[in-house]
Amino acid sequence: MREKELEKIKEYKYGFSTDIEDVKAPKGLNKKVIQFISKIKNEPKWMLDWRLKAYDRLQKLTEPDWQKPKYPKINYQDLYYYSAPKSMKDKPKNLEDLDPKLLETYKKLGIPLQEQKKLNNIAVDAVFDSVSVATTFKEKLTEKGIIFCPISEAIQKHPDLVKKYLGSVIPLTDHYFATLNSAVFTDGSFVYIPKNVRCPMELSTYFRINASETGQFERTLIIADEGSYVSYLEGCTAPMRDENQLHAANVELIALDNAEIKYSTVQNWYPGDKDGKGGIYNFVTKRGACRGKNSKISWTQVETGSAITWKYPSCILQGDNSVGEFYSIAITNNYQKADTGTKMIHLGKNTKSKIISKGISAGFADNTYRGLVDINRKAENARNYTQCDSLLMGSKCGAHTIPYIKNKNSSSNIEHEATTSKISEEQLFYCNQRGLNQEEAVSLIVNGFCKDVLQQLPMEFAVEAQKLVGISLEGSVG
Amino acid sequence: MLKINNLSAKIENKQILNGLNLNVKAGEIHAIMGPNGSGKSTLANILSGKKGYEISGSITYQDKDLFKLEIEERAHNGLFLAFQYPLEIPGVNTSNFLKTSLNAIRKSNGKKELDALEFLKIIKLKAAELKIDEKILNRQLNVGFSGGEKKKNEILQMSLYEPNMVILDETDSGLDIDALKIVANGVNSLRDKKRSFLIITHYQRLLDYIKPDFVHVLMQGKIAKTGCSDLALELEKAGYEKI
Ligand SMILES: Nc1ncnc2c1ncn2[C@@H]1O[C@H](COP(=O)(O)OP(=O)(O)O)[C@@H](O)[C@H]1O
Ligand SMILES: [Mg+2]
């Protein structure tokens, strides 16, 4: 292997690609391609109609351009919208029939799918490009009436639930990327937790982009019925490529009365190389509706990858006494850019929201927190607490905090705190003197800075995330 | 142990050290006194490897060229500096910091890293021996610590890492008598034939508890005078002008 490549692999250890024969839709975005996707997935007519409606709507929309990170124009006709391993065509019935190359890929990513090696107490749905290739622990979950399956399977097996909730939080017509996703989404996870069931294990989806020139458009839908609880985690990686690849997912969460959803993301898409070449455009729409009273939705995100991260996981607090939380770590190094934050829409009485954002910038990177706290006229006694901290490493990076507040109810209470700090030479000297090298020192200081957010992650992932935080900043000092 | 030869140092074109010589043998305790701004902390910083100085001269430490070692490598080789102003690191738990550091040092010396339980046992013992309240272990590193707590934390780390060459930079400044005794006790309990100390202080009173082998006066960038512990008493009475 050439030295340069070796060096690259050290930087981003998930950067390999799997050489696998695939089935692709023809290049381009048009009704034929949408029909192709719908057909290959054996979708009912209502689903195809829904997609086509989104496509028609898309013709009238333009891409938003108010975000801070600008990007070169994307040629939507020059992308593949569907790519799946050929071996997935005649759906393997169980893991033993799965292409060994796929098993190997996930093993390399640290996600063993085989029965005997499964992660302890974590059910995994593995999505490879445009299809879900495996879901573990299915039987154990079924016992409790929990549905955890690829969304393409849910469309066929649970059409009533899908019809009722799909697009109910992110409407077809929402905005360019959300509508694009509605037209061409390929796979993703579907979760339904029945009334009064506490999901006995972490549910998790692992997204992997493999094919080149292919966009990934997954769709996740999670419904927590009355009195239920679920903790869900998504992880993502992609090979290193010189091209920029588009990832435009939609995630919808619905929490009914007294239900709670905890949604965690560890996003580690390929960030591009040191000079900013390549990397994923991570343009994602995530929104949760606290539809029932006393319901709760909590977003935790650790965003370390992608060339551009542009997302605002939000909560619509409809139910009285409902709670929305957003905990975020966004790390940008080299030429990475992030414009991320949340929207907390307070509609019900006594609704509460909490926003903790930690932005870390190094190299030439640019990191923006953008958030909206919107208190509706009828939202009596709404409360929000926002804390935005930025940490800068070096003098060539940027950090920005843009908190919007719309307050239409005088009984509300909104608190906002913001800090910007730098890792000082003196702090590093102190750590070095105690035997820590530069990278260990930075990792320790940054993990300290992020602690309030890392604590929110499920235990199994907190350790991984801590390491990732350190790795993402490697080479950023000294 | 430590041999400083004709050391000169400038920062921002300001000459701070100017031909300093010092020889510390294994097992010795040297005290360095000197007026404010005479370069005592500068000396301590240079020994620990802090960057930003224009340096000439040479330093050998354990028969190695000290300038060839990175800051953390000096620490791995048993050089420890108790900071005059210990740094605050928000969010970093003190106990975790101490454990991470100890393990970094152990690892570099080919020793097994300690797990959380093993570490806890050791640190609790050390804290008890030194009569340091172990509550500081659960707080963020030095954040909101009183001056005394910060200094005690430095002493606790000194005794944890069991270094070969200890430099204390005004660890006694601003301490009440009880805290001072904790510092002295920490030093005395580590004192042995193989370990050396360089104790930078302003006051004679610490030397009531720690008997140094030599007392040096640092002035005009070099050692202006060397004596035994009586010199400290003299200085306390007559000040630095007479030297
Ligand atoms: N980073 C710096 N830039 C400029 N001058 C400095 C710097 N650090 C120390 N000095 C100066 O060097 C001199 C010696 O400082 P220091 O070693 O801290 O003295 P001491 O510890 O003996 O009180 C002082 O005059 C101080 O102002
Ligand atoms: Mg000083």
Q: How confident is the model at residue A103 (pLDDT cuts 50, 70, 90)?
A: confident
Q: From the CA of B52, give the closest atom in ligand 1.
A: 1
Q: How far is the CA of B169 from the centre of ligand 1 (A)?
A: 13
Sign of the Cα torsion A434, A435, A438, A443 reads: negative
Question: Does the beta carbon of B46 sit less than 6 angstroms from any atom of ligand 1?
Answer: no
Chain B residues within an 8 Å CB radius of A433: 48-49, 71-72, 74-75, 80-81, 83
* Cα(A65)–Cα(A45) distance, integer angstroms: 34
| pLDDT reported for residue A214 | 79
* Cα(A276)–Cα(A242) distance, integer angstroms: 9
Check A431 against B91: CB less than 8 A apart.
no
Place of tokens 């992997």: A208
Q: How far is CA B34 from the centre of its chain?
A: 16
Check B75 against A435: CB less than 8 A apart.
yes
Q: Give the angle subtended at the CA of A237 by the CAs of A286 and A460, to the nearest 5°.
A: 80
| pLDDT reported for residue A1 | 34
Is residue A437 less than 8 Å (CB to CB) from chain B? yes
Give the closest of B76, B83, B90 to A435, CB-based. Answer: B76
Check A433 against B140: CB less than 8 A apart.
no
Which residues are bridge partners to B61 per DSSP? B2, B64
Is residue A373 less than 8 Å (CB to CB) from chain B? no
Chain A residues within an 8 Å CB radius of B102: 435
Q: Which residue has the higher pLDDT, A18 or B125?
A: B125
Residues 6+ apart with CB under 8 A from A374: A343, A344, A345, A346, A405, A406
Is residue B233 less than 8 Å (CB to CB) from chain A? no
pLDDT average, residue stretch B171-194: 93
Sign of the Cα torsion B63, B66, B69, B73 reads: positive
Check A432 against B49: CB less than 8 A apart.
yes
| pLDDT reported for residue A108 | 73
Count of other CB atoms within 10 angstroms of residue B213:
15
CATH number at residue B117: 3.40.50.300
Coil, helix or strand for B2?
strand
pLDDT average, residue stretch A287-300: 98
* Cα(A297)–Cα(A327) distance, integer angstroms: 11
User: What residue's CA is closest to ligand 1, atom 11?
Assistant: B37
Question: Does the beta carbon of B221 sit less than 6 angstroms from any atom of ligand 1?
Answer: no
Q: How far is the CA of A434 from the centre of ligand 1 (A)?
A: 22
| pLDDT reported for residue A9 | 45
Give the closest of A426, A436, A452 to B101, CB-based. Answer: A436
Q: How confident is the model at residue A318 (pLDDT cuts 50, 70, 90)?
A: very high
Is B128 domain-assigned? yes
* Cα(A25)–Cα(A37) distance, integer angstroms: 7
Sign of the Cα torsion B232, B233, B239, B241 reads: negative
Sign of the Cα torsion B209, B212, B216, B221 reads: negative
Count of other CB atoms within 10 angstroms of residue B60:
15
| pLDDT reported for residue B184 | 95
User: What residue's CA is closest to ligand 1, atom 7?
Assistant: B11
According to DSSP, residue B188 is labeled H
Average pLDDT, chain B: 94
Q: How confident is the model at residue A288 (pLDDT cuts 50, 70, 90)?
A: very high
Q: Mutation test of the interface with chain B: which of A422, A427, A431, A469, choosing the one with the most B Cβ atoms within 10 A?
A: A431
Question: Does the beta carbon of B16 sit less than 6 angstroms from any atom of ligand 1?
Answer: yes
Domain tally, chain B: 1
Q: From the CA of B39, give the closest atom in ligand 1.
A: 17
Both tokens of residue B205? 């009173």
Nearest residue in A to B92, CA atom: A448
Res A69 pLDDT > 60 = yes
Give the residue numbers spanning the domain of B121.
71-174
Dihedral of CA atoms A478, A449, A279, A126 in degrees, nearest 10, equals 130
Question: Does the beta carbon of B39 sit less than 6 angstroms from any atom of ligand 1?
Answer: yes
pLDDT average, residue stretch B71-84: 98
Give the phi and the psi of residue A144 in degrees, each rounded to 5: -90, 5
User: What residue's CA is closest to ligand 1, atom 27?
Assistant: B37
Is B44 domain-assigned? no
Res A315 pLDDT > 90 = yes
Q: From the CA of B45, give the closest atom in ligand 1.
A: 17
pLDDT average, residue stretch B108-124: 95
| pLDDT reported for residue A130 | 64
Amino acid type, A188:
G
Q: What is the pTM of this model?
A: 0.86
Q: How confident is the model at residue A26 (pLDDT cuts 50, 70, 90)?
A: confident
Res A5 pLDDT > 60 = no
CB A301 within 8 A of CB A286: no
| pLDDT reported for residue A92 | 64
Is residue B87 less than 8 Å (CB to CB) from chain A? yes
Is B109 domain-assigned? yes
| pLDDT reported for residue A184 | 94
Q: How confident is the model at residue A49 (pLDDT cuts 50, 70, 90)?
A: very high
Res A120 pLDDT > 70 = no
Is residue B143 less than 8 Å (CB to CB) from chain A? no
Chain A residues within an 8 Å CB radius of B92: 444-445, 447-448
Give the phi and the psi of residue B109 in degrees, each rounded to 5: -100, 15
| pLDDT reported for residue A349 | 98
| Interface ipTM | 0.97
**For the segment A388-433, what is each residue's pLDDT rounded down to a tens digit?**
999 998 889 999 999 999 999 999 999 999 999 988 899 999 999 9
User: What residue's CA is closest to ligand 1, atom 24?
Assistant: B37
pLDDT average, residue stretch B130-156: 95
Is B97 domain-assigned? yes
Which residues are bridge partners to B65 per DSSP? B60
Average pLDDT, chain A: 88
Nearest residue in B to A439, CA atom: B72
* Cα(A12)–Cα(A477) distance, integer angstroms: 18
Res A113 pLDDT > 90 = no
Could you give the percent of chain A with pLDDT greater than 70? 92
Half-sphere exposure of B6 (CA within 13 A, CB side): 3
Give the phi and the psi of residue A148 in degrees, each rounded to 5: -135, 105
The domain spans of chain A are 2-311
* Cα(A362)–Cα(A396) distance, integer angstroms: 8
Picking from A258, A268, A261, the residue whose alpha carbon sits closest to that of residue A287 is A261
Give the closest of A430, A435, A452 to B83, CB-based. Answer: A430
Q: From the CA of B35, give the closest atom in ligand 1.
A: 22
According to DSSP, residue B134 is labeled G
Q: Which of B12, B15, B16, B220 to mutate to test the pocket of ligand 1 (most atoms within 8 A of CB)?
A: B16
- Ligand approaching nearest to the C-alpha of B9: 1
Q: From the CA of B170, give the closest atom in ligand 1.
A: 21
| pLDDT reported for residue A3 | 43
Q: Mutation test of the interface with chain B: which of A433, A443, A451, choosing the one with the most B Cβ atoms within 10 A?
A: A433
Give the closest of A427, A434, A440 to B157, CB-based. Answer: A434
pLDDT average, residue stretch B22-41: 95
Place of tokens 């709760």: A296
Place of tokens 């393997």: A92
CB A100 within 8 A of CB A438: no
| pLDDT reported for residue A374 | 98
Question: Does the beta carbon of B45 sit less than 6 angstroms from any atom of ligand 1?
Answer: no
Is B148 domain-assigned? yes
| pLDDT reported for residue A93 | 65
Res A30 pLDDT > 60 = yes
| pLDDT reported for residue A60 | 94
Could you give the percent of chain A with pLDDT greater than 90? 57
| pLDDT reported for residue B20 | 97
Q: Which residue has the higher pLDDT, A21 or A2?
A: A21
Question: Does the beta carbon of B86 sit less than 6 angstroms from any atom of ligand 1?
Answer: no
User: What residue's CA is closest to ligand 1, atom 20?
Assistant: B37
Both tokens of residue B235? 């200085």
Contact residues, A window 408-427, toward B, CB-based 8 Å cutoff: 424-427
Q: From the CA of B169, give the closest atom in ligand 1.
A: 21
Give the closest of A424, A429, A448 to B71, CB-based. Answer: A429
| pLDDT reported for residue A6 | 41
Give the phi and the psi of residue A114 in degrees, each rounded to 5: -65, 145
